[in-house]
Every structure is written in structure tokens, then in C-alpha cells.
Structure 1
Amino acid sequence: MTSRKTILAALFAVSMSGFASAGLAADTVRIVTDPTFPPMEFSKDGKRTGFDIELTEALIKEMGKEASWTDIDFKGLIPAVLSGRADMAVSAIYITDARKQVVDFTDSYYAGGLVVLTRRDGPIKSLKDLDGKRVSVQVGTKSVGYLQEHYPKVQRVEVEKNEEMFNLVGVGRADAAVTGKPAAKLYAQSHPDLVVLDAQITTEEYGIAVDKRQPELVTDLNDALKRLKEKGTYQQIVDKWFEGGK
């Protein structure tokens, strides 16, 4: 006999599913992002913007659909897709073997990688100088696991928000931050006392994470990306946000 707890759990799941899709047309794609990672995604004047946002809007338009965005913390992006509360997640997400076990990914839409942001006059001049130092990282990102495995002597300072991670370096509470190259480069441009080391820790590919139950969405996104590249739209967006991709 089905227990009352089981029935309530099932009803809760159905209600959550209904809440996520209520009022949305069939041609609407539900997207989650963490808009705290400029220039990839961030908020400006109360509006969501950035490379990922503009490219995704172009992809969805190319597909003849509408985008419905929801902002959540980075660590909740994949769970939102897994639970069916979102169709896809776009937020400078690296394509990794671990993530591919639970979600599907589109073709890579941009190459990035983990880098070190540190004080220009600080003690860290190369990657080997990270050992024993305080390094800030954002919870839920690849930086955490990578440092655990490859730099076990690092004193990790784990924070929820990207901005907090950078601020700790600026005020001296962390010796460095390990994060994605685009955001680190942009932050260093407006903070001349900080610098990004030339040597990258990793080279990674960014992809859009999609619900495994929607393989057709992956196909449609990949086809749309190809068409945007053929039209020159993709390169225009890259040039706008990365100065020619450099």
C-alpha cells in the first residue's frame, strides 16, 4: 500500500513541475544562469547582460523560440536542469566528464580555462607559488575540485559569489583567486593592482547544459550555433565582448 509520505512527495514533485512551466508556451525555453560572472553574464542597470546572455538570446531567436530566464546560484544550475525546473543552464559552465554523466552538453561555444588572479606586488609569480597560499574559489565551480586534486597544499577559501572571491584578493584576505579566464581578465583591467598570471592552470571548453530528456534541444542549439557562425553573428558577439576573442 502506498504510504501517505510517498503520495505527498509525488504531489509535491508534480506541483513543482507545474510551477516551473505554468504560463509558458510550448516554444518557450526555460534557462537558468548565475549573472555574477562578467563578462559572461552579469546584471547592469537592473538588466541581465554579457556574452553568454547575448549569444543565448541569439540562439533561441534563431530557433524561433522565446527565452524565459531565472537567476540562481551557480551550484544550483545543474540541479535545476536535473529536476526539470529548467530546460538548460548557461553560465560559463565547463564541459566535464562528471557533468556529462548527468546532463547533455551542446558543442563548445567558447574556449576558456582556469587562471590565477593575484596582487601585482604579491608573492605569487608562477603556478608553483600557489602551494601554502590562501586561494579563494567559488563554491560549485571546477576550481574547487581541481585545487583539491592538483594543489592539495593550497588553503582554499570557498565563497558563494564570484564578486566576493575577487574582493578577498583585493583586501588581502586571500593571496589569489582561481577562476575562469574571461572574468579574471575583465576584473584585472579595472583593478591595476591585480594581475592574471600568463600561465593558465587549465584550458577548458564552455557548453550549454541541457536536460538529457531533451536531446532534440541539443540538436536545435547546435544547428543554430552553426548558422550564427555562418552568418557572422557569432563572431560579432565574440568581438563585442572579448575584443576579437583575445
Structure 2
Amino acid sequence: MRLFKFGAIALAAASLALASVPAAKADQLDDILKAKKIRVAVVLGTPLFSFAGADLKPTGSDVETARMLAKDLGVEVEWVEITTAARVPTIQTGKADILVASLGITPERKKVVDFSIPYATLDIIVAAPDGTAIKDYADLTGKRIGLTRATVNDQLVTANAKGAEIVRFEDDATLISAAVSGQVDIVSTQPPLIAMMNEKRPDRQLKTKFVMRELNLGIALPQGEPKLKAWLDDWIRKNMANGALPTMFAKFHGRELPKDLADRATN
């Protein structure tokens, strides 16, 4: 009887110990390869980076980066179309495997998602009509400036232009419409968007007043996926070295990527 009781206690203790061991975490790279599909989050309507082409299919440097990546991985792409403000939450909530959407690598974002090494760059600027005297953040005091919500532009203007009236729009397309319609004449955005605005307001051209920051752009992925991150980093290094990424980027942007881009720190 005592032997049976001891055995039962030992069995219960062993079961408890096994229950306390965490289940093995699935590896996202393995899951992608098994599914033969990678879910890529993109923000369509971002000139030069991701937009609908003449055939109404997605294109742009971010879209083509994702296509090249998927081809080399040997999987199909499933596009997850999102808004600018939803970029980080989409990765946090697992609605996409990776995000290729002109997302700048910042310390704040690195607290909640991981990034690949940089694959592209982006200047973020303040632009206004020719006669507007703006050289730095101080000159924005008392002025109305439009920008896209939840971007580095938003963070920088909010932190440095305390006296400005900031008008936030939910996405780049809405910001462009606001600039074209005259709702805002001063904007914080990127050069490709300024070019698009100027096409639609030829008599009220916007000019770059100052560059706020050159951003290194990274492919975002969930935290805790070292195999996926290592694959992405290796892929970027190889395609920077063989010229595939720079050539494709120049096709859309008409400028070269920095030669040291893949070696830049992401912190």
C-alpha cells in the first residue's frame, strides 16, 4: 500500500514537472517554408516605395524588394495591405510575417519589433512654398504643418516644433490630398510625396526647406525570431554586394543607395 502511494505521488510530481516545462516555440522561418508562403505587410499609396502600377498590381521599391526576397526564399507572397499607422501593430499582432513598408529603424520601435539590417534609406523633410521662410524647427512656430500620423516625421515635429499647429493625417494619400486642396501648405514628409503633390499643384510648388533626418529603413519582423532575422540580414548583404538591391532601388528612385548601408548599425 505504501509502495503504491509513493508511486502515485512520484507520478503526480513528474506530471507536474512536465506541465511546468514551456511548450517548444514554433520557428517562424520554418513555418514560412512549410507553408510555402510569406505574408508581407505593405502600405500601398506610398509613391516610389509601394503603389498600384498601370496594371493596377502592386509595385515600387518595397514591393519589388519583397518579391525578390520571396523568390530567393522559394515561397509565394501573400500581400497584407495596411495603413501607415498600422505598420508596427501588424507585426506585433502576428497579422503578417514581415513588413516591408519604408519603416525607419528607431530605438522606440525596436522595443516592440525586430528589424533586419538596413535595406534602403529615406530622407524626411519639411517643405513649403518658395516664399515661406523656414530654415529649422524654430521657424515653424505659429505655422500650420501637415504630416502623416505615427511616423518619424510626427515624432520629430512633435518633439522639436513646440509652437507649431500640427495637423495629422491617417495616411500619405490623405496628406497628399490635403496639400493639393490647400488645407495645408507646409508639410513634413519625404521627397517622392512632394513630387506627387507638385504634379497636382503646379502653380503652388513645394520646396524642401530642411532635411530633418536620413532614415535607415529595415524589414520589420516579430521579436524572438533569430533564424528569420539571420536569413533576412544575410539576404540583404548578398543582394547589396551583387548589386541587385541598389539597381532595383535606383530604377524607382533615381538615386543610389549608400555603399555602406548594409554595414550600418541598427541601434
Q: TM-score, normalised by structure 2?
A: 0.76
Which position in structure 2 is the counterpart of 1:238? Answer: 249
Which position in structure 2 is the counterpart of 1:30? Answer: 39
Equivalent AA in structure 2 for residue 181 of structure 1: P
SS in 1 for 2:65: helix
- Provide the identity percentage: 24
SS in 1 for 2:88: helix
Which position in structure 2 is the counterpart of 1:21? Answer: none
SS in 1 for 2:150: coil
Q: For residues 187 and 218 of structure 1, do their structure 2 counterparts lie closer, same or farther at Cα, with a shift above 3 Å needed?
A: farther
SS in 2 for 1:136: strand
Equivalent AA in structure 2 for residue 156 of structure 1: I
How far apart are 1:189 and its partner, in Å? Answer: 5.9
How far apart are 1:182 and its partner, in Å? Answer: 3.7
Q: For residues 160 and 88 of structure 1, do their structure 2 counterparts lie closer, same or farther at Cα, with a shift above 3 Å needed?
A: same
Q: For residues 226 and 119 of structure 1, do their structure 2 counterparts lie closer, same or farther at Cα, with a shift above 3 Å needed?
A: same
Partners of 1:129 and 1:170 in 2: CA distance: 23
- 1:125–1:197 contact (8 Å) kept in structure 2: no
CA RMSD of aligned residues (A): 2.1
How far apart are 1:82 and its partner, in Å? Answer: 0.9
- The yes-or-no answer on 1:177 pairing with 2:196 is no
How far apart are 1:191 and its partner, in Å? Answer: 4.7
Q: For residues 228 and 177 of structure 1, do their structure 2 counterparts lie closer, same or farther at Cα, with a shift above 3 Å needed?
A: same
Q: TM-score, normalised by structure 1?
A: 0.82
Partners of 1:241 and 1:130 in 2: CA distance: 32
Q: For residues 116 and 104 of structure 1, do their structure 2 counterparts lie closer, same or farther at Cα, with a shift above 3 Å needed?
A: same
- 2:40–2:100 contact (8 Å) kept in structure 1: yes
Partners of 2:249 and 2:196 in 1: CA distance: 14
Counterpart mapping for 1:68-217 below 5 A: 68-121=78-131, 123-127=132-136, 128-185=138-195, 187-188=197-198, 191-192=201-202, 193-197=204-208, 199-217=210-228
Between Structure 1 and Structure 2, whose CA radius of gyration is higher? 2
Equivalent AA in structure 1 for residue 39 of structure 2: R
Aligned residues: 222
Pick from 57, 61, 69 the counterpart of residue 59 of structure 1: 69
Partners of 1:162 and 1:184 in 2: CA distance: 11
How far apart are 1:49 and its partner, in Å? Answer: 1.0
Partners of 1:28 and 1:43 in 2: CA distance: 22
How far apart are 1:46 and its partner, in Å? Answer: 2.2
Structure 2, gaps ≥5 residues long: 1-32, 258-267
How far apart are 1:32 and its partner, in Å? Answer: 1.0
Partners of 2:166 and 2:107 in 1: CA distance: 23
Which position in structure 2 is the counterpart of 1:4? Answer: none
- The yes-or-no answer on 1:221 pairing with 2:220 is no
Partners of 1:232 and 1:191 in 2: CA distance: 36
How far apart are 1:75 and its partner, in Å? Answer: 1.3
Partners of 1:181 and 1:222 in 2: CA distance: 27
Equivalent AA in structure 2 for residue 225 of structure 1: I
Partners of 1:73 and 1:130 in 2: CA distance: 27
- 2:180–2:200 contact (8 Å) kept in structure 1: no
